[in-house]
Amino acid sequence: MGSSYHQLFYHFIWGTYKRIDLLDDLIINDLERLIEDKIIEHQSELLCFGCVPDHVHLLVRLHPAVSVSKIIGEIKGYSSYVIANRMFPDSGFRWQGGFGALTISKREIPMLCKYIKNQKEHHKNKDLHQDWELK
């Protein structure tokens, strides 16, 4: 088999340690780049990124050779290390232990991307899609 076709779209969600509000604008600016770097390293694509002070949402097109738990572990480990040790050593930054991973269809991408990009507004207005939030 010379090539393969895949449409593996995942919505990933995880929070900060004890859901403490650790994600301020300074961290968020660097966080998206750190996350995208690790996703690209795994031949995958970050389609959307959004967050509020205590959790992040990603929409990723995942390469079929990459396991969900491996890429999430590497993203969380890498971003946590860089933020806590290099960029903001006094922040006390760390992630919670778990994560959410949902598969979505290609037709759901526009709606989910809009939701992810507007996280601050959705949380401010309590206009949350319960299937797309950690409970």
Given the structure tokens 């299937």, which residue do they identify?
A: 131
**How far, in Å, CA of 44 to CA of 41, rounded?**
7
Domains for the chain: give ranges and CATH numbers.
Answer: 9-132 (3.30.70.1290)
pTM across the whole model: 0.87
Tell me which residue of 67, 45, 52, 44 sits closest to 21, measured CA to CA. 52
Mean pLDDT confidence for 80-102: 90
pLDDT at residue 87 is higher than 50:
yes
pLDDT digits (tens, 9 = 90+) for 43-67: 999 999 999 999 999 999 999 999 9
Strand partners of residue 12: 58, 101
Closest CA to 66 of 97, 34, 101: 101
Contact 78, 87 (CB under 8 A): no
